[in-house]
Structure 1
């Protein structure tokens, strides 16, 4: 989405291109006004930080400027011959249109307003597991460290409180992470330069909401190379309804993890092109992520008890913790639940299970998937179905119509609305469905009859409500 100054620049540039074709009387005020607005808007954007998409707009205005100004600088109000002005006007309009189209296709993300009754706070913790060596380095003293971001129900912050940047605690961190995400995807960094400019709805370290009630928790693992904030819209929506969402950065897997000592840990994950070797690697990465999730779940006790300082002391219901993930993070969530009975439920957002030794487990699962066919991955649904059948609880697989793999992340807010890339051309529809289905499931599994703080009022049996969002397959569970 373009900001008001960008809109002014585009409209003024169009007016400048068209000024040459106007009758003499309106030509002068339109030209002078357009030049003035282009100059002011360009200067303001230069101070605020101009996005690259506005450069073609300025170039288009520059091409049109001589044709618009020439009649004003002569004694006789004559325009350049049409055969000379027409190519310049066409070129100018093409440049302006290209810049505006690029700004529309690759906007600065605007996050949907959370619909729950709570405001949203956020905080970041760096957690080190003294019992686990860091297998990605050769240093024997290195211990596994993860960065966890909490989104939680908060009291309303004072007007004017600064909202948290997207992807980082500071704009600098956001720029490091967005650049790493672009590099990981093989894209020029400038294509994602709108991400560090974005502001979420959360306020850092805001006071927790309510008068002492404890909130259920959802731990989240991102996709391969993904980062803790990649599902911010989903996390904020859940937090506004009374859940604490904890997104994890997995160092040496996430595209970039900025640590508290200033170091930036880059991803070391890579594919070989050999299916057998790539599956072996995926299984290893999934196992590390599953261990990260269990470690953070155990650390929640210290956060709740105040041993780790923060705004959530005494506010976490550590007996009601779900585990979730997108893509390989969804596979890690399934594996973590199988290995750790402390998790009460699982949400798998289009994640392939990579657990080499799946075993029966007791937690219910909600698996949201895109439509899977031979052109997608013919092994995906059979593998997922086998794992869901191992749960002793009722589980649900919801196929979301028109979804793509990135539909279940924030990507539709800032990537071109191409259905094969992000699903529905509506930038927020996939986010809304993902959050709404997650809330129905969480209310039924963590709150049972949906009577907890911030509840959406969903039914204890979510099948009917989930069916409204796509094609639902119910797995009754091996214990049913």
Structure 2
């Protein structure tokens, strides 16, 4: 929440409590105080627009003003008014659990961050998710890169703002009305830093159904550490993504109810995602494909692929089929198809949320163990204590601090998204350093420097 949001929210509650709980304040001072708060609220409305989260607060101001003006003398009326105001205070507090504009953590690396989005069409692959035989597969990649000086222009957080479907990854889209004001800590006009001629590249695939935006905190942090990160959206599986022709593609919900059919479905989707990632690798090899800012400045001999949840499975699948990939990392993802029985030739990292917090399935545990047992170049596995499956994403940040605390009591994740993402970025940066042309880093020491992270090297 912005400073003006906090001032209005707190002032409305204080005014209500003072008016309802004391008789010492006169009518004129009380109305003057409420008028001041109402004026600030009007300024906020004009400057930022309407937020549904403030409806209880606006009603609280109106009812408190009525109480001051009417001064209900009858005992029953006074009690009813106080009960009504109390209910509005509770409603306002509940609404503030979902801040109008979430705050993302600032990247921790030495570089400011720039960003640019590319919307490509693969002419060789039809789009199986639509009925139009002329449709071809779109692949969207948002580059996050170490920048020179920022221009101050900022960048858009989520595709489709202003025309979102009713739900985005099960989140009602009306909650996202103010998400155009989220500070991504990235500049969409900034030039690439010139500390080096070519920068190592990391492809990132998000979780099942999640738009790439929901991993902004993590990918921007990696970019600030000296990687060009290409966060990939997978259309018709992602909740919302803008295609190359400007259309908005939403998720096609056709997941089978039968377990065996579901396994086959996820295997197919895993292959589609891996093909999307390989397509991005192909584009990187085309001169000028990334525009004037980035083209010619990426080290296409030093590429890694990582992902969260289903994106982690897609990253491993892409690595299994493509020798251009120098390293791969799976963050909390279940593997499908024959992938657990493949042998990865690249260094591999498995990062897991705490098993007791997330309740990993037997499929997750057994299949990842099988893949780790067949590594051709060794790797690492770490379990991050007090982190749940969503701690790697921005989603917990859509709640206020008290809201995150309450949710953590129900589904875990008490470590919090910011410490979880910071530890993840530290481990990823250490793991990727040597395969992507940097100095060798002590990955285990980097991991255990953080509280309650268990694991170590595998297959060495």
Task: Report the RMSD for the aligned CA atoms in angstroms.
Answer: 2.4
Query: Counterpart of 1:84?
Result: 77
1:34 aligns with 2:34: yes
1:103 aligns with 2:112: no
Structure 2 distance, partners of 1:293, 1:350, is: 19
Trace 1:209-224 onto structure 2 (pairs within 5 A). 209-224=193-208
2:448 counterpart (434, 450, 467)? 467
Query: Counterpart of 2:414?
Result: 424
Q: What SS class does the counterpart of residue 203 from structure 1 fall into?
A: coil
Query: Counterpart of 1:288?
Result: 272
Structure 2 distance, partners of 1:184, 1:238, is: 24
Please list every run of 5 or more consecutive structure 1 residues that lacks an aligned counterpart in the other structure. 72-78, 451-458
Structure 2 distance, partners of 1:82, 1:176, is: 49
* Residue-pair matches, total: 450
1:333 aligns with 2:315: yes
**Per-residue CA shift, 1:343-378, capped at 9, x if unaligned?**
111121111111325321211111111223595412
Q: Could you say if the C-alpha distance between residues 375 and 122 of structure 1 is closer, same or farther in structure 2, counting changes exceeding 3 Å? A: closer
Structure 2 distance, partners of 1:434, 1:253, is: 25
Q: Could you say if the C-alpha distance between residues 184 and 413 of structure 1 is closer, same or farther in structure 2, counting changes exceeding 3 Å? A: closer
- Per the TM alignment, residue 433 of structure 1 is displaced from its structure 2 partner at its CA by 1.9
Q: What SS class does the counterpart of residue 472 from structure 1 fall into?
A: strand
The answer to whether the 8 Å contact 1:122/1:206 transfers is yes
1:275 aligns with 2:259: yes
The answer to whether the 8 Å contact 1:220/1:246 transfers is yes
1:352 aligns with 2:351: no
Query: Counterpart of 1:199?
Result: 183
1:394 counterpart (378, 402, 418)? 378
Query: Counterpart of 1:133?
Result: 126
Structure 1 distance, partners of 2:7, 2:382, is: 44
Q: What SS class does the counterpart of residue 137 from structure 2 fall into?
A: strand
Structure 2 distance, partners of 1:429, 1:402, is: 10
Trace 1:68-467 onto structure 2 (pairs within 5 A). 68-70=68-70, 80=73, 84-158=77-151, 161-168=152-159, 173-177=160-164, 179=165, 182-185=167-170, 187-302=171-286, 305-357=287-339, 358-372=341-355, 375-415=359-399, 416-417=403-404, 418-419=407-408, 420-421=410-411, 423-424=413-414, 426-449=416-439, 459=441, 461-467=442-448
Structure 1 distance, partners of 2:209, 2:353, is: 20
Q: What SS class does the counterpart of residue 130 from structure 1 fall into?
A: strand
Query: Counterpart of 1:74?
Result: none
Structure 2 distance, partners of 1:139, 1:67, is: 61
**Per-residue CA shift, 1:11-55, capped at 9, x if unaligned?**
332243222543445663243122232243145325522211110
Q: Could you say if the C-alpha distance between residues 427 and 384 of structure 1 is closer, same or farther in structure 2, counting changes exceeding 3 Å? A: closer
TM-score when normalising by structure 2? 0.90
Q: What SS class does the counterpart of residue 257 from structure 1 fall into?
A: strand
1:52 aligns with 2:52: yes
Query: Counterpart of 1:455?
Result: none
Q: Could you say if the C-alpha distance between residues 237 and 271 of structure 1 is closer, same or farther in structure 2, counting changes exceeding 3 Å? A: same
Please list every run of 5 or more consecutive structure 2 residues that lacks an aligned counterpart in the other structure. none
